[in-house]
Amino acid sequence: MSADVWLDGSKLTFGGRNERERDVLTDAILTGRARSVYIPIIEAIDPRLMSRFLAKVGLEVLTQRLLPVDGWNEEIVDMPALDPLRHFARVGDRPEKWPFSRRRIYGEDDVHGDGDGYQVMHEFTILCEPLPEPGHLDLYAVVCIFGEEFAINLGEPEIASYERWLTAHDGTSPLYTSDKLPLPPVFE
């Protein structure tokens, strides 16, 4: 039988995808029918390659969002604030690393909606997080691929303001708050 397994702090946790699977798993463990546990180890992603990939995707997401704005091409191409990200995506030598946020927000096989439902393969948005300095923003590309959410800061190699944003919004993904948060005029 299969079960979901995850690390919760320092505890290894087993569970089923639904109540029935959880009950079958619990019964198998308590009755001794499940006497061995096999946990396939999935190779971890290379954080450097992933951050370079996310940098590239982040630039594409920003471009897609700015397409309706007159002069968008010049803004993307000529914006010096994006030069470090562009260089990191292309070459990857500096900065040494560009951190990103990674978390699962739903199962990769989850079916959404009523009736026949649908599977979400990918979704994305831009999050603008105001900084203490007037007129300055942290700009994040937030991308979800098969239920795993990634966020990368498009302006600098840090994610602290994204983590603060998640805390302030009870862990809700920015992908699901567009109807609750005001967007800067350029993104309307």
pLDDT at 116: 81
More confident position, 3 or 118: 118
**CA neighbor of 127 nearest in space, from 71, 187, 55:** 187
In angstroms, the CA 106 to CA 104 distance is 6
pLDDT at 185: 46
pLDDT at 100: 97
Return all residues near 127 (Cβ < 8 A) that are at least 6 apart: 139, 140, 142, 151, 162, 165, 174
Question: Position 6: which residue type?
Answer: W
pLDDT at 24: 86
pLDDT at 188: 42
Residue with tokens 């990634």, as numbered in its chain: 150
pLDDT at 187: 43
Summarised one tens digit per residue, pLDDT across range 40-95 is 666 678 899 999 999 999 999 999 999 988 988 888 899 999 999 999 999 999 99
Return all residues near 108 (Cβ < 8 A) that are at least 6 apart: 146, 147, 148
More confident position, 59 or 5: 59
pTM, whole model, 2 decimals?
0.72
Which of helix, strand or coil describes residue 72? helix
Q: Are 73 and 62 in contact (CB under 8 A)?
A: no
Summarised one tens digit per residue, pLDDT across range 117-162 is 888 899 999 999 888 888 888 999 999 999 899 999 999 999 999 9
pLDDT at 33: 87
159-163 CB contacts, 8 Å cutoff, 24+ apart: 159/99, 159/100, 159/101, 161/129, 161/131, 162/101, 162/127, 162/129, 162/138, 163/101
pLDDT exceeds 80 at position 186: no
Summarised one tens digit per residue, pLDDT across range 103-115 is 988 888 888 877 7
The DSSP 8-state label assigned to residue 107 in this structure reads: -
